[in-house]
Amino acid sequence: MRFTSTETGIQVPSDTFRCTQRRKVLTLNRCLNDFLESNAFGLRRASCFRCPTGRRNREIFAGAEQDES
């Protein structure tokens, strides 16, 4: 199942948000790093593995980068 969102609240790597999986405030940079690392290496025990919030943040950040070009 694919989760998409039209939110544009976070766009800069230093922006913070409330992570539902980890139950704490994270920066976008930390979220993207942990999400991509856990999925790239298949770390199934990591809380970031297939996290819908991490996926949504990645899509928002990627979309923001494309709009600026």
- Domain boundaries defined on the chain: 16-68
> How many CA atoms, within 13 angstroms, populate the side-chain half-sphere of residue 29?
4
pLDDT for residue 52 is more than 50:
yes
pLDDT for residue 44 is more than 90:
yes
Portion of the chain with pLDDT greater than 90, in percent = 59
pLDDT by residue (tens digit) across 21-43? Answer: 999 999 999 999 999 999 999 99
pLDDT for residue 54 is more than 70:
yes
**What local confidence, expressed as pLDDT, does residue 65 receive?**
52
Work out whether strand 16-19 and strand 24-27 pair parallel, antiparallel, or are unpaired.
antiparallel
**What local confidence, expressed as pLDDT, does residue 69 receive?**
52
